[in-house]
Amino acid sequence: MCRSRAPRACISTVDCIFCAIVAGAAEASFVYQDDTVVAFMDLFPVTPGHLLVVPRRHAVGLQDLPEPDGVAVWRVAHRLGRVVRHDGVNLFLADGAAAGQEVFHVHLHVIPRFEGDGFKLTINPGHPARAELDEMAGSIRAALDTDLS
């Protein structure tokens, strides 16, 4: 099964472990299934109860994911997050190798958090000037307007 870190490496559903799970050709411990989305236990959990929410339809990244499928993924993750939450919960989606995506089929991690669990997202935030933020916001708005047209 494909675990390549190369972008678009697992574009074929034949090589995709999540497609195999959805098709019943690979094992998973399911917690939820409907016509659009499945959710199952992560084989390499960060904390107890760590889940993956996966669209049934293969999509390498967000650009390939039909918006209704994306909405369904987040709806299910929201519901599951409320169920598995302990001291907190993280919802995490990595889109692309640079973002840390390892399996190239869109998936959303639902990670229950426990005080002192040791899991950290290390971030080194910048502090851009307001003018730079405004410029970036304008560029994003323009791209969004084009995407929504």
Closest CA to 109 of 124, 125, 95: 95
The full set of domains in the chain, from first to last, is: 13-120 (3.30.428.10)
Nearest Cα residue to 59 out of 27, 35, 37 = 37
From the list 50, 58, 107, 127, the catalytic residue is: 107
Tell me whether residue 107 is one of the annotated catalytic residues: yes
pLDDT tens-digit map of 4-59: 444 444 455 678 999 999 999 999 999 999 999 999 999 999 999 999 999 999 99
Taking all residues of the chain, what is their mean pLDDT, rounded to a whole number?
A: 91
Which residues, in sequence order, are bridge partners of residue 16? 2
